[in-house]
Structures are given as C-alpha cells and as structure tokens.
Amino acid sequence: MSSSKITLSLRARKWISAFIIFHLLSIFSSALSLKGTLKYNPLMAAYLHFFGLYQHWVMFERAPESNNYIVFLLQWKDGRRELIEFAHMDELDQLSRLRMHRFRKFQQSSAFNPANRFLWKDLCLWFFNSCNDSDKSRIAEIELLEKVIPFSINSINTEPKFVLVYRFFPSAEQSIK
Amino acid sequence: MKALLECWNEFFFRPHSSGAIALCRILSGLVLLFSLYLMYGDLTTWLGYDRDAVVSLESSLACLPKYPCLALLNLNAMNDDLLFFFYWLAVLSAAFMTIGYRTKLSIAICFILLQSIMRRNPFILSGSDELLSQMLFYLFLSNCGASLSLDAYLKEKARMPVNDKSAPWAQRLLQINLCLIYLQTFILKLQQADWQNGSALYKVFQARELLHFPVPDFISSSQIICRCFTWSALLFELLLPVLIWYRPWRKWLVVLAIIFHLCMEYCLNIPLFQYLMIACLLTFVDGVYIKRFFHRLRPLRKVHSKA
C-alpha cells in the first residue's frame, strides 16, 4: 500500500467517480456484447461512438478460411482480355509488407464483404482512373473479381477460384451487378 | 460500504507513480510516429478525395455512425489540402507527445486527428488504429506528462522526474480496458468451432497474406502443436486479466505477456498492434523498477559528460 495521502478534493473525487462508473458501464456493456444495455441507453452509445471507444477487432475470433485477392479483368475494345493482379504480401520485402498492410486489410476483410458492396464501384473507378489517358478510351469493360485460394486442412496447394463481383462500363458510366 | 469506498479511493485516487504511464506515452507516441510514416506513401490513395482515392466520400459517409463523431476530414472534400495539413500536424503532435512537450495538448490533437482519419476510411483500419485511439483517450485523461517529459524537465528546472506521484484513475481505466480486451477476445473465441477444436492457429499459419516472418514447418504443419498453442492462447487470455491484479505474480505475468506479444509480432503482419499491447502492459510495471532503471543510467550519463 502506498504511503502517500490522497490529495484530490472530495468534490473532485465524486465527479471523477461518477465518470469512472459511467465509463466502465459503457465499455463493459459494449465489449461483452450486452447489446440490450446499449440499445436502451443511447447516451452510452453516443459517448462510445463520439470518442471512438467501440472495439471492432476481435483478434482472430474467426480464423481465416482462405486467402482472398482483388483482381481486375480488363476487356479492351479490340476484344483482348487482360487479368491484372496486385503483388501478394508474401512476395514483398519486410518494409513493403508493413507499408502495404492497409491494402492487405482492405483486400482480405473489407473489399468483398457484401455489406460494403458500395465499395465495388469505387474500386473499379479507382482502377480506371489509374490507367493511362490513352488506354482509358480503349477499355470496354472492367470486371472486378475475387480470387479465392481456400485453405485445405491437409494442404495449402488448392486451386484458386475466381468469383465475378462487379461489372463496370466506363464509357456508359453505368454498371450492373 | 465504508470499506468499499476506502478500496475505491485507494485504487483510483491514492497517488501513484506516473513513471509507468509515462513509459506507455513514450512507446505509443513512437508507434504513432511510425504508423504515420507507413501511411505517408498511400495517404491520398486511402484518405484523399482526388481522383486517385479508392474510397469515395459517399462510401465513407455511408459508414458513419448515426451519432455525432469527429469526422473533421470530411469538412473539406474538395481537395486534399486539409488532409496534408492534418497529416503534418499529426506528425508534429505525435513528436511532442513522445518527448512530453505540451503533453495534454499534443495528445488531444493526436486523438482528434486520428479519429478523423478513422472516420474517413474505416475499411483499412486494423486493431492497432482502434487501440491507439483508445490509448490516446486514456493518456489525455492521465498525468502521463508528469514524468519522463520535457514539460516536467522544464517545470523542475532541469531535473528529470521519473516517478512523480499523482492520482492514477486514468491509468487504472487503461489497465481495466486492457483486461477487458483479453476477456472479450476469450469470450468471443470460445464460441467459435475453430478455437474449440484447436484448429484456429493452424489456419492462421496457413494465411500466407498474414504472416510476417516464416513460422518453422514443424510448428505450422503440426496439428498437435498448433492445437496446444491455440488452447494455450485461450487459457492465457482468460487468466492474464484476472491474475495480473495479484501483486506477487504481476511482474512475471507482464514478462510472459510481453513474450507472448513478441511471438505474435514475429508470426503475424499486423503492424504495431503488439507494441501497443506491450505499451499498455507497461502501465502495470511498478514505479520502483522504473526509478531503479533510470538510476542505473545515471553513472552512464556522468561518464558520458566527463568524456
């Protein structure tokens, strides 16, 4: 036990204690998924959102089932087709892996989540904008594909699957699922 | 009731060494600086509004919570001027926070800017971003600038205090939050089949995109070893947040937890997260050890100044 005396005034301790209780109730009800508490207490929810105290990450609560990659299939107006894929993390040096970790996060967790379907058009548009101006007029269609390499419990050498996610037509500025 | 109140006062308000929370501030400041450095190359790609940005403003707004939040980057969606201003302000504030100059103000600025960045593009966030944001919140409330800081050095007229004592309530909140992270992780994992049957880490080791350094084959390809590791990790996440409050075991548990996180750092490419967890764990280190460590450095300083 410390020998120092408590220096904070009683009044200050009361206010801080009230804050501590409110804060602890908020983070415990959020973290331990006591959804009812948050649902019926908008003040706690607003507090957690405003100060960014919600915790979304779960440290591999669900173990990954596959390696997923963003792939673009370019359809040129002259009929040629070109598959464009980004470098995989295991092909990069250590510093590049660190620099690219946000891309890895985006690719593995966010890009193909159906809840984020509004990102698919953004992704195609970003890819289109990154092409040379001379190429842009020759692109007929961009297909966004998800390349999935599932893990096998006995071997990791499984065949990749390509899943069509989104079609983007630059000339018409319209797209269909 | 009186005994309970006494315990409460003892735990949250009895003055306690601020050396540990100051170490946490320094390490988290360094992590923030490195995180900003890693972000620089892709700043406009992930956070900008120009043509080379991946995520449009509409998509970003679609993910904002219905509650008020600090999304200051969205104030100027016409160009990236505000983004660059925020970026360099964040670098300056993170540097000030690390050395402890205008500590409260620099932590507050870092917190607001980090929140704004997180709201601009939530699709690229990892655990380290959210944990850092939470840590900044607690560091702001704490007295982390009272020790090992330029502020303290200037206040004490050229003498660096390493163990200034103050009410540790914010440090306690950070410690409780850390324990909650382990407990929440344990509860969530326990509900998943992969963690129950012990195959979770085996799958993680197969995720080549996630791996940092190569895991030896005899570990990654052995289901028995992976099972042992999976269940050990679960047990660790259950026991640590409970046993760390038992004083005689604390220092050994902190050492064990640091080794655990360094192993994770070796295996997994989740930059900076493990260092932030270690920074949080440092708040459990007794001020006496920190004082002893810096006293040992004194003779070195004298030798250096004589030379």
**Which residues of chain A neighbour B210 with C-beta distances below 8 Å?**
64, 89, 104, 108
Q: At what angle do helices A10-31 and B169-190 cross, to 10 degrees?
A: 10
Two tokens, residue B240:
């640590």
Helix (H, G, I), strand (E, B) or coil at B257: helix
Q: How confident is the model at residue B21 (pLDDT cuts 50, 70, 90)?
A: very high
| Alpha carbons B53 and B109: distance in angstroms, whole number | 25
B299 HSE (CA, 13 A, CB side)? 3
Q: At what angle do helices B273-282 and B19-40 cross, to 10 degrees?
A: 170
Nearest to A28 by CA among A43, A58, A48, A13: A48
**Which residues of chain A neighbour B38 with C-beta distances below 8 Å?**
98-99, 101
DSSP code at position A114: G
Nearest to B145 by CA among B161, B134, B129, B169: B161
pLDDT at B144 over 80: yes
Contact B209, A90 (CB under 8 A): yes
What is the secondary structure of B39-82 as a DSSP string? HHTTHHHHH--STT-SS-HHHHHHTS-SS----GGGG--S-SHH
The amino acid occupying position A147 is: K
| Alpha carbons A127 and B226: distance in angstroms, whole number | 40
pLDDT at A56 over 80: no
> For A148-159, what is each residue's pLDDT tens digit?
887 765 555 568
Q: Which of B123, B131, B271 sits opposite A106 (nearest CB)?
A: B123
Between A2 and B25, name the one with better pLDDT. Answer: B25
Q: How confident is the model at residue A59 (pLDDT cuts 50, 70, 90)?
A: low
Q: How confident is the model at residue B163 (pLDDT cuts 50, 70, 90)?
A: low
Nearest to B255 by CA among B228, B285, B292: B285
ipTM of the complex: 0.89
Between A134 and B305, name the one with better pLDDT. Answer: A134
* Predicted pLDDT at B173: 97
Q: Look at B13 and A13 and tell me if their CB atoms are within 8 Å.
A: yes
DSSP code at position B211: B
The residues, ordered by sequence, that sit 6+ positions from B125 with a Cβ below 8 Å of its Cβ are A56, A105, B118
Query: What's the rounded mean pLDDT across residues B256-285?
Result: 92
Nearest to A103 by CA among B269, B214, B183, B283: B269
Query: What's the rounded mean pLDDT across residues A35-64?
Result: 74
Place of tokens 């939040």: B69
Q: Which of A8, A90, A103 sits opposite B167 (nearest CB)?
A: A8
Q: Which of A52, A89, A106 sits opposite B124 (nearest CB)?
A: A106
* Predicted pLDDT at A22: 95
* Predicted pLDDT at A175: 42
Between B253 and B64, name the one with better pLDDT. Answer: B253
> For B194-217, what is each residue's pLDDT tens digit?
889 988 888 888 777 778 888 888
Q: Look at A62 and B125 and tell me if their CB atoms are within 8 Å.
A: no
> For B51-106, what is each residue's pLDDT tens digit?
778 888 888 888 877 888 888 887 777 778 889 999 999 999 999 999 999 999 99
